[in-house]
Amino acid sequence: MASELASQPGGPGTNSQSEPFPPTDTPNTSSNLPVSHARLEEIVTEACDNTLQFADSYQHPLVGKWNTNIIQSALAHLIKESNSHKFIVTSTIIQHTTPPAPLAPKPANNASAQDDLASGAEGLGLENKAEEEHKVGRRGLHSATGAYWNNERDGTWSWQWKGSEKKGFDVIATVFWIATV
């Protein structure tokens, strides 16, 4: 059984013939997925949606329970769908540290709008209700994963929950699978 160093988040490991760090924004399309990529995303999205549907902001006393629920739900579905793998699921919830801020003004096509922008606060482009969406403040985060395993049968996949933007936190889930047969 050939083992290789898996050094890239969201994808299989690399060897000396390939680039050491392929792009991280591409989905894991490896043939070693325990379930289809679409199903994997569906499982983790559902776990987050069900757990966090009533959360409206980061609530420190509840975060541990949220993480546990996301992990247990994802594991239960993965185990049902693949009995030829062992799974590890992680969930990280990151609180945003700054209050919501208005979105940047949209580029204007006429001189009048440009004059408004130059006049200061009145030119923020927020006069129109459709433009009053807010963008939550962010905190920096970088995460990486490494593993020593069989790249043809084992793998990892990382994902960010899209439903958290307006809640004041981010959710990052990672699924690891290790073939048992």
**Structural domain that includes position 108:** 101-135
Split into its structural domains, the chain has a count of 2
pLDDT for residue 140 is more than 60 = yes
Report residue 178's pLDDT band, with 50, 70 and 90 as the boundaries.
very high
Q: Mean pLDDT of all residues in the chain? A: 74
Q: Measured between alpha carbons, how far is 143 from 81 in angstroms, rounded to an integer?
A: 28
Residues 124 and 60 in one domain: no
Count Cβ atoms below 10 Å from residue 31 Cβ, excluding itself: 8
Residues 165 and 123 in one domain: no
Question: For residues 63 and 167, which has the higher predicted lDDT (pLDDT)?
Answer: 63
Query: Would you say 175 and 91 are in contact if contact means Cβ atoms under 8 Å apart?
Result: no
Q: Residues 35, 6, 93, CA angle at the centre, nearest 5°?
A: 65
Residues 52 and 112 in one domain: no
pTM value is 0.65
Residues 83 and 159 in one domain: yes
Residues 129 and 74 in one domain: no
Q: What is the pLDDT of residue 98?
A: 67
Residues 166 and 118 in one domain: no
